[in-house]
Amino acid sequence: MIIVHHLNNSRSQRVLWLLEELGVAYSVKRYERDPLTLLAPSALREVHPLGKSPVIVDGASTVAETGAIIEYLIGRHGNGRLIPPVDSAQRQRYSYWLHYAEGSLMPLLVMRLVFERVKISPMPFFAKPVARGISNRVDRMMISPQLAIHLDFLEAELSGTDWFAGSEFSAADVQMSFPVEAARAFGAVDGKRPRLADWLLRIHSRPAYARALVAGGPYTLSS
């Protein structure tokens, strides 16, 4: 049975969802973030040297990084499901979104989170206006404009199809779920981007998604 080392409110929720979609048996070992730093506990370093989640253990195989885990699970347990045919245009889109989620979109969202936390971090009172000013300027000059470009791109990409890889739901949609949910949490998925909002509603309505929430525990990005 596959063991999923699962950190609350993290990328590992996607792994639970994919396993539910595939109907693969698994067990969950839960870890909780530090409530102040939001970092993963040091216990995860016993599983992988970087101390990050998700990590899965499947027999003798230990696999980290969400994209690598998705490729592993689809290749070993998918039996051709949730992945477009080889050499199809949909397969090319599938591969693109599988890498785009973490390679292009998530870095912007992580930067946004870091600079938002800078504004509320403990510091001498006289430094707070400076920190807020710098954070707001970086967001205004770089992060928010770039994030808008990316989300408008996603909105346009969904104009002619229901799912990111094409007309069929795939593991690319699973991979894209976390950054789009995070963007919505920042208020960036609103009435101006109805296709993205509709896509979120459709993934949240999938029975496997609901089962993964039960298995993983509280996940604030789903609400």
Q: What is the 3-state secondary structure (H, E, C) of 203-221?
A: HHCCHHHHHHHHHHCCCHH
Query: Strand, helix or coil at 30?
Result: strand
Q: What is the pLDDT of residue 166?
A: 95
Rg, Å, the chain Cα set: 18
Q: In the block, which residue shows the tokens 């080889």?
A: 86
Q: What is the pLDDT of residue 115?
A: 79
Q: Residue 73 above 90 pLDDT? A: yes
Is this structure's pTM higher than 0.95? no
Q: What is the pLDDT of residue 130?
A: 65
| Chain centroid offset of residue 122 CA | 28
Question: Binning pLDDT at 50, 70 and 90, where does residue 37 land?
Answer: confident
Q: Residue 102 above 80 pLDDT? A: yes
Partners of 4 in beta bridges: 28, 56
The mean of the pLDDT values for the chain is 93
Tell me what percent of the residues of the chain surpass a pLDDT of 70: 98
Partners of 2 in beta bridges: 26
Tell me what percent of the residues of the chain surpass a pLDDT of 90: 78
Over residues 108-164, the pLDDT tens digits come to 999 988 878 777 777 787 677 766 877 788 888 999 999 999 999 999 999 989 999
Mean pLDDT value across residues 6-10: 92
Over residues 158-188, the pLDDT tens digits come to 998 999 999 999 999 999 999 999 999 999 9
Q: What is the pLDDT of residue 123?
A: 76
Q: Which residues of 28-61 are buried (b: 16+ CB within 10 A; e: fewer)?
A: beebeeeeeeeebeeebeebbeebbbbbbbbeee
